[in-house]
């Protein structure tokens, strides 16, 4: 327990809009230890970003409502804290890299001032000292300090992402929430950013919750993985468990849909169909309509949580039989 940094218990989140209720997160449980990287994997709309925003308590209210659950950070339930106490945790102890660096930066403020402003917001230091610290952070992420006074439009997409990472790490947080930090980048810059994040993780001993749909990034970055489908964790465990001992049909489908260099297959194997409408989720297994191994019990009785090995859990009635 002393090594545990983050624990999410039975989290349920809904969005209320136009007389409909979007069931975005449905009973999610997660655990992250100090110094680890946990990857959240799944299709767009699975609820990954909603989980991260709930941890940082930046969900828009309305329409978002946390209906149930607890989010423990170093033993303290973040959902029970006042706004004032939570404001001290944001940036200082938990920080977030948002998905699009183009919209995360203020276009009319120099990048150096934006980082310095973040530092001064959380630390009682002078403007001159904050500027010095901002320059150090820029250099830490591979940007020359002389570019302190330049504006976002003077930077490439990869450089903007480095600036966003510098802002997120400016106060040396214990937990970094990274929401698809390489989605908008080309392959070369993506590799550089991932290498940078790994380097900073080791230097600052920061734990990372990495949101992605790229299994290659998961293999390179993550110690543990949680596969999210329709707001549920359908499989979780170590990266080795997920890659080498795949137990859920959805996880298997994700791997089967990837191109393989050693395969003679002429076509990929996509997962048929679409995720269910989050405003009308089925009562049984959420993956039933898309699962090639489904039987009637899956629909009528629902999915069953099973432990396939130490710390390796899967939400599937037929796990161990078909995958």
CA distances in angstroms from 64 to 14, 90, 132, 138, 144, listed in the order given: 6, 19, 39, 35, 41
Contacts of residue 310, Cβ cutoff 8 Å, sequence gap at least 6? none
More confident residue, 98 or 20: 20
Contacts of residue 323, Cβ cutoff 8 Å, sequence gap at least 6? 246, 247, 248, 249, 251, 252, 293, 316
pLDDT of 53 above 90: yes
pLDDT of residue 278: 92
User: Please, which pLDDT band fits residue 239 given cuts at 50, 70 and 90?
Assistant: very high
DSSP type of residue 185: S
pLDDT of 193 above 90: no
The structure tokens listed for 26 are: 């449905």
Q: What's the CATH code, domain 4-93+173-315?
A: 3.40.50.300
Q: How far apart are CA 155 and CA 158, in angstroms?
A: 8
Q: Phi then psi for 265, rounded to 5 degrees? A: -60, 135
Measuring CA to CA, which residue among 41, 40, 32 is closest to residue 8?
32
pLDDT of residue 283: 85
Helix (H, G, I), strand (E, B) or coil at 261: coil
List the chain domain ranges: 4-93+173-315
Average pLDDT over residues 91-114: 87
pLDDT of residue 1: 54
Read off the pLDDT of residues 65-74 as tens digits, 9 standing for 90 and up: 999 999 999 9
The structure tokens listed for 211 are: 């949101």
Q: How far apart are CA 99 and CA 106, in angstroms?
A: 15
Q: How far apart are CA 279 and CA 277, in angstroms?
A: 5
User: Please, which pLDDT band fits residue 13 given cuts at 50, 70 and 90?
Assistant: very high
Percent of the chain with pLDDT over 90: 54
CA distances in angstroms from 11 to 21, 69, 173, listed in the order given: 16, 4, 23
- The pTM of the full predicted model, rounded to 2 decimals, is 0.88
pLDDT of residue 175: 93
pLDDT of 100 above 90: no
- Residues 30, 101, 16, 177, Cα dihedral to 10°: 10
Pair 77, 19: CB distance under 8 Å: no
Contacts of residue 271, Cβ cutoff 8 Å, sequence gap at least 6? 250, 253, 254, 256, 257, 290
Q: How far apart are CA 87 and CA 134, in angstroms?
A: 21
User: Please, which pLDDT band fits residue 151 given cuts at 50, 70 and 90?
Assistant: very high
Q: Which of these ranges, 55-64, 119-128, 187-196, has the smallest mean pLDDT?
A: 187-196
The structure tokens listed for 159 are: 């450089």
Q: Which of these ranges, 113-122, 181-190, 225-234, has the smallest mean pLDDT?
A: 181-190
**Starting at the edge strand that comes first in sequence, how are the strands of the sheet with 175-179 ordered?**
94-97, 175-179, 207-212, 37-41, 224-229, 232-238, 312-315, 305-309
User: Please, which pLDDT band fits residue 168 given cuts at 50, 70 and 90?
Assistant: confident
What pairs with residue 66 in β-bridges?
13
pLDDT of residue 29: 96
Average pLDDT over residues 109-130: 90
Beta strands per DSSP E along 2-48:
4-17, 20-33, 37-41
pLDDT of residue 30: 96
pLDDT of 148 above 90: yes
More confident residue, 169 or 243: 243
């Amino acid at each position: 327990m002393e090594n545990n940094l983050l624990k999410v218990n039975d989290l349920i989140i809904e969005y209320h809009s136009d007389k409909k209720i979007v069931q975005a997160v449905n009973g999610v449980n997660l655990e992250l230890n100090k110094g680890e990287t946990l990857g959240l994997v799944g299709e767009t709309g699975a609820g990954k970003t909603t989980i991260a925003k709930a941890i940082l308590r930046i969900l828009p209210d309305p329409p978002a409502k946390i209906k149930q659950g607890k989010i423990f950070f170093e033993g303290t339930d973040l959902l029970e804290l006042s706004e004032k106490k939570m404001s001290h945790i944001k940036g200082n102890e938990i920080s977030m890299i948002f998905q699009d660096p183009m919209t995360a930066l203020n276009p009319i403020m120099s990048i150096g001032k934006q980082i310095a402003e973040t530092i001064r917001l959380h630390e009682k230091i002078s403007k001159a000292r904050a500027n010095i610290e901002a320059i150090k952070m820029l250099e830490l992420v591979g940007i020359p300090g002389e570019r302190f006074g330049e504006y976002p439009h003077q930077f490439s997409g990869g450089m903007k992402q480095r600036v966003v990472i510098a802002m997120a790490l400016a106060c040396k947080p214990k937990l970094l929430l990274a929401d698809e930090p390489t989605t908008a980048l080309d392959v070369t810059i993506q590799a550089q950013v991932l290498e940078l994040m790994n380097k900073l993780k080791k230097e600052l001993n920061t734990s990372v919750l990495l949101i992605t749909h790229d299994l290659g990034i998961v293999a390179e970055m993550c110690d543990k993985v949680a596969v999210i489908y329709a707001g549920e964790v359908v499989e979780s465990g170590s990266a080795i468990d997920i890659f080498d001992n795949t137990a859920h049909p959805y996880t298997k489908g994700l791997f089967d849909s990837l191109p393989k260099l050693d395969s003679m297959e002429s076509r990929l194997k996509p997962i048929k169909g679409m995720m269910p409408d989050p405003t009308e989720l089925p009562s049984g297994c959420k993956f039933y309509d898309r699962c090639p191994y489904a039987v009637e019990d899956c629909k009528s009785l629902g999915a069953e949580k099973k432990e396939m090995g130490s710390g390796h859990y899967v939400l599937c009635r037929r796990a161990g039989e078909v995958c």
